[in-house]
Amino acid sequence: MGDFLASVYPWVKFLHVISVISWMAGLFYLPRLFVYHAEQVGQGNATDTLFQTMERRLLKAIMNPAMIASWIFGLALVLTPGIVDWTMVWPWTKAASVLGMTWFHMWLAARRKDFAGGTNLRSGRTYRMMNEVPTILMIVIVASVIVKF
């Protein structure tokens, strides 16, 4: 298995980067949609239905597949011999940040259900503040992988 992963390493890395970029795009955009939905849109009208459709499609068609692909290709990279030195700090900070990013994804999915059910109680300000979470985690992840502290 290790020989196979080593031979396809550049392709797995390529697919991991592409899937992470797609996932991050959604993690940045969905909270922004929630800001506008919470501040500008009432319930039960055509605009509410439009926002719910955009939010659902973004989550189901882009974010969920991108997150799954990020995890699959990321785990393949971790299992490739010689790529990760678990005696260093960086793989642990990256792993913790990826778990945080996954939690944030699930939190967004729960908030989408709130909007769909007409039970959203959070303000646009809350979604603006939460929109900073993926940025902070992304900085930690990229610094961990590039600097390898």
Cα–Cα distance for residue pair 38/42, rounded to 1 Å: 8
Task: Tell me the two tokens of residue 7.
Answer: 């031979």
- Is residue 36 within 8 A of residue 124, CB to CB? The reply is yes
At how many degrees (to 10) do helices 9-40 and 46-57 cross? 160
- 92 residue type, one letter: W
Structural domain for 10, as ranges: 2-147
Q: Which of 41-45, 74-78, 87-91 is the least confident region?
A: 41-45
pTM: 0.94
Residue with token string 């900073």: 132
Cα–Cα distance for residue pair 73/64, rounded to 1 Å: 14
Q: With 80 as the cut, is the pLDDT of residue 4 above it?
A: yes
The count of domains in the chain is: 1
Read off the pLDDT of residues 98-120 as tens digits, 9 standing for 90 and up: 999 999 999 999 999 999 999 99
